[in-house]
Structures are given as C-alpha cells and as structure tokens.
Amino acid sequence: MSLEGKIAIVTGGARGIGAGIVRSLSKEGAKVAFNYVSSSSNAAADSLVDELRRANREVVSIQANVTDASRPNAIIQATLAAFKTDHIDILVNNAGLGDNRPLEEVTLEVYTRLMDVNVKAVIFMTQAVLPFTRRGGRIINLSSISARGGYPTQSVYAASKAAVEA
C-alpha cells in the first residue's frame, strides 16, 4: 500500500506500538507527525525522528498532552505548518494508558486519568481533526481485547477501551 504524500498524525508515537505505527506509515511514504507527553520521552522521540530522517522520511514530533483541551488543535496546527499543507489524511488515536488494579483499589484520580487519556483524548482529537480531513481520509482508534473481556484487574481500563469501540 502506498501512502505517498499522505499526511498522518499518530498520538502517543514516541514509543512502543505508536513508534511502530509511525515507522510503518513513514515507510509507506506518509509524512508523519506524532505527539508524546512527558519530557522523559524526549530522547525516544528525538531518536525516532533522527532514524526516519536518515531514511529520507518526513517526520516531526510534538510534545503535547492530548488530554489538555487546547492541545489537539495545537498538534494539528503544528502538523499543517511542518508539512506546509491544509489537510490531514490519517489520524491514529494510539495514545493510551493501562492500569491493572482491582476495582477496590481504583481511586477517582486513577479513574479520571484513564478516562482522560483513553476516551476524552480520542473524542476531542478526532473532533479537532475533522475539519482538516478530506473525503477518503482515515481515523483509526486503537482499543484492546480488554474491551470485550472480563478481567478482574482491568475494570476501568476495560470500560475505557469499550468506550473507544463504541
């Protein structure tokens, strides 16, 4: 599949599955922007950018927390500016947070953090990108088998992933 000339955004793209998605989209010819949250991911983000640029790929990293209501639009604007374009072809909502604790140990803080990263960020990142997505564009939301399973230590995590699937 050729994605030559397509513009993509991957949330949570500095490490793990997200970095793999960034590499795959880039390899297929897409210009890829990805975000990461914490300064502890700076080195991983820089390394990924360097790796892909050495392979003559167009890639940019953006430090931004997608749970902050103002950041989805900032990520989009940074992407548009970096690639000198007015549209986004692909959005991959990959940023996610896991938690493996029994329901009895879930606090309001844990619940809020999981729902903010795994649900709120997907909804508002998608909402922000819609005006910039042309016919034929793609929005991909990553979930988990936990959305459909009954795992005793993943009640809130499973609920957040089920919300993404819904």
One-letter-per-residue 3-state SS of the chain = CCCCCCEEEECCCCCHHHHHHHHHHHHCCCEEEEEECCHHHHHHHHHHHHHHHHCCCCEEEEECCCCCCCHHHHHHHHHHHHCCCCCEEEEEECCCCCCCCCHHHCCHHHHHHHHHHHHHHHHHHHHHHHHHEEEEEEEEECCCHHHHCCCCCCHHHHHHHHHHHC
User: Which amino acids are annotated catalytic?
Assistant: 143-144, 157, 161
HSE, side-chain direction, 13 A CA sphere, residue 95: 30
Neighbours of 10 (CB within 10 A): 30
